[in-house]
Amino acid sequence: MSVNMKATKIQNLSRLKAQKALLIVAFLSVPLFLLIVFTYLPALNMIRYSFYRWDGTAPTMQWFGLKNYQILFSNPQYLKVMVNCLYYLVGSFVQLFLALVIAFVLSFKFRGSNFFKGVFFFPYLLNGVAVALMFLFFFQPEGTLNTILRFIGADNAITLWLIKPVVNNILLASISIWRYIGFNIVLFIAVIQSISSEIYEAAEVDGANRSQILWLIVLPNIRMIVGLNLILAVKGAISVFEVPFLITRGSWGTSTFVIKALNITFGANPQYGLGSAFAVVLFAAILVITSLQKLMIRED
């Protein structure tokens, strides 16, 4: 009897083992297939294309060596789009600072604090196209902004906002803040509220005022998350795409690195090689920034 039971047990165990192997293969096959075919294969192709001259449809690709990279780094038109990213970089620093202050204020529960949190967060959920159209209308000649300016008598300030160089980039970066700040606010509120309330109480007993609490207690405690968000801001700034693309399509000097890459690739005169070189440079930059981020985390 007991020998029999042992035998079934062993049988069961080997059945389970076989099943386990089957499950691992079955469960991982689809996700791995998708990962390899639609992420790794294109990523490798992208690197390969960047050494060729190719319009995307011709049966043969022409070897181009490092020329695409040379063009990328020497054509002033392409360097300009890298400079444009600085507007968004500065914008995201402003965004983080504002978000931090607002989050600090909102992290103390008071009448209406949830309402404000909701209002600030809502734009983050909006469809990018709706946001773009809203601001196209906002900056139109007879649009929202100029109407307000006329109403307050500032007729002199009225202009074609989205066409004016420099100004348009600043506006686009501001729209970015408008759209994304809510996310940082919600994130920072959550982090600030996770700081133990005893620390606050002790500080208040010691007579610290609000700004002292912010600088001396809150900031050091959330240093890590702020640092991470600064790094994310850099990553975000070099890969800015949606807001300027949807509003101006990159016209009037508002193109960014990613818009340029996609226009070069899918535009009227498709150049897959050069577009891929752009993509590879972006990828390399992201990798460098990510390793810095990893280093920072390790040090902490």
Partner 1 sequence: MIDMDSKNKHYQLKRKSIDLLKYTTLISMAVIVILPMIPVFFGSFKTNYEFYSTSVWAFPKSFLNFENYRIAFTQGNMLLGFGNTLLIMVVSITVSILIGSMTAYVLQRFKFVGRKLITSLFLFAALVPTITLNIAIFSLMAWIGRNMGIQLINTRLSAIILFSGTDIITVYIFMQFLKHIPIAIDESAIIDGAGYFRIFFSIILPLLIPAITTVVILKFVAIYNDFYIPMLYMPKSELAVISTALDNFRGPYGSQWEVICAGQMITILPILVIFISLQKYIYKGLLIGAVKE
Site for partner 1 in 65-94 (CB under 8 A): none
CB of 127 to partner 1, least distance (A): 5
What are the residues whose beta carbons fall under 8 Å from the beta carbon of 7, sequence distance 6 or more?
none
Position among 71, 134, 163, 170 found at the interface with partner 1 (CB under 8 A): 134
Position among 7, 10, 23, 83 found at the interface with partner 1 (CB under 8 A): 23
Query: Nearer Cβ to partner 1, position 106 or 169?
Result: 106
CB of 117 to partner 1, least distance (A): 8
The alpha-helical segments, DSSP class H, found in 210-271 are 210-212, 219-221, 223-238, 242-248, 257-266
Pairing of the two strands 62-63 and 52-53 = antiparallel
Cα(66)–Cα(45) distance, integer angstroms: 16
Considering only residues 163 to 182 of the shown chain, the ones binding partner 1 according to CB under 8 A are: 178
Considering only residues 233 to 292 of the shown chain, the ones binding partner 1 according to CB under 8 A are: 239, 241-242, 245-246, 258, 261-262, 265-266, 272, 275-276, 278-279, 282-283, 286-287, 290
Position among 58, 66, 130, 216 found at the interface with partner 1 (CB under 8 A): 130
The tokens describing 227, both together, are 């640092």
Segment near partner 1 (CB under 8 A); pick from 21-29, 68-76, 80-88, 196-204: 21-29
Cα(173)–Cα(294) distance, integer angstroms: 28
Query: How many residues sit close enough to partner 1 to count as binding (CB under 8 A)?
Result: 80
The alpha-helical segments, DSSP class H, found in the chain are 2-35, 41-49, 67-74, 76-106, 113-125, 128-138, 144-151, 167-193, 197-205, 210-212, 219-221, 223-238, 242-248, 257-266, 272-299
Query: Nearer Cβ to partner 1, position 93 or 116?
Result: 116
Position among 11, 137, 157, 215 found at the interface with partner 1 (CB under 8 A): 137
Considering only residues 99 to 128 of the shown chain, the ones binding partner 1 according to CB under 8 A are: 102, 105-106, 112, 116, 118-123, 125-128
End-to-end CA distance of the chain: 61
